[in-house]
Chain A
Amino acid sequence: MRFLKQLLIILSISLAGEVLSHYIPLGIPASIYGMVIMFTLLCTGVLKLESVREVGKFLVGIMGIMFVPATVGIIDCWDVVSGSIWLYLTVVLVPTVIVMAVSGFTAQALGRMKRGVKGQNES
């Protein structure tokens, strides 16, 4: 029963997310509303971590496989993509690597700065 209860809670939050996504016309999907709801419920203590932990961790652990069906859809728009293959390859590769580098560097530099300031204050 424990796992079914956990599943029920997670699916109910998914449903709540769907409702919000439908009635708030911002183009934000159900999953993002749901994630915010789940996070808020956990932080406020309304929902105990034990009430969702096993099923939640299982779902997060197998997430990779869930992207496969949509990605295979590339074979249906292959004609469009193969026509400008260089454009699409560049667009997929270059910004992804640059964004990863810039955001990672920025976060790391700010983290070090903060720790540096803290270290000075302490010493």
Chain B
Amino acid sequence: MSLEFLSSSAYWAIVISLASYILGDLLRKRLKVAIFNPILVSVILTSVFLLLTGTEYSQYRAGASFLSWLLTPATICLAIPLYEQLSVLKSNRLAILVGILSGVVTSFLCVLSLAMLFGLGHAEYVTLLPKSITTAIGMGLSEANGGYGSITAVLIILSGIVGNVASPFILRTLRITDPVARGVAIGTSSHAIGTAKALEMGPVEGAVSSLSIVVAGVLTVVEVLIVRNLI
């Protein structure tokens, strides 16, 4: 079943993304189950639609490029919640910085042990290293060091979705209740996609999570320079 109309339509890609996103949000509110995450539901339904109609991803991407285009200005605007919570950030700077640093080092140790466990080569190892940071930095970092950028991008996005879906449960289970610590945990482990959830939890969580994206990203750039040749 191939829909020829799709190749000439300017709106279908955004309509299907948006409709499935809103459906995901409705399902989550109605059923109160975290797995009905709007991003996850939208990705799955849109993918199923493309596969059923035999539409190429490149065609969808071209149609939905407006959504991706908004990502840079939106990320820049994360500075606004950051600015609004400036006093909280200042008075908690040590906890925030050391928390993020511990997360970045942990991420490296996890990837190193998994790489040794699965017997990975240099290219795969470098592909995995930046998996917790923001796509834009991580993808470039992976490619610049001989990794597979597109796989890094997918891993980063999936990690973000795991953080977005699972963070309320994980933080509750581990009794991490301090808003600053919650922001550090979410931003450091699951960048901007997790931060969308942190912003729902509260303004402090959102601001600290936004800050963690930047700090964890920059620390990881430095870290990869140091550890890239270990495997």
Contacts and interface: CB of A to CB of B under 8 A. Distances in A.
Q: How large is the interface on B (under 10, 10 to 19, 20 to 34, 35 or more residues)?
A: 35 or more
A39 interface: yes
Output the residue of B68, B95, B166, B171 with the most chain A CB within 10 A.
B95
Contacts of B186: 100
Interface residues of A, number: 73
A18 B185 CA distance: 29
Interface string A52-68: 11011101111111111
Interface of A: 10-11, 13-14, 17-18, 26-32, 34-39, 42-43, 49, 52-53, 55-57, 59-77, 80-81, 87-88, 90-108, 110-112, 114
A85 to B, nearest CB: 12
Smallest CB-CB A-B distances: 6 pairs: A107-B99, A104-B185, A103-B103, A29-B136, A108-B181, A95-B110
A111 B95 contact: yes
Contacts of A60: 74, 77-78, 80-81, 199
9 contacts: A62-B70, A64-B193, A70-B135, A71-B157, A99-B189, A100-B188, A106-B103, A107-B100, A108-B176
B9 interface: no
A38 B74 contact: no
Contacts of B43: 68, 71-72, 74
A92 B114 CA distance: 11
A104 B78 contact: no
A38 B80 contact: yes
A68 B10 CA distance: 17
B80 A52 contact: yes
Contacts of A90: 114
B76 A28 contact: no
Interface string B174-193: 10111011101110111011
B71 interface: yes
B221 interface: yes
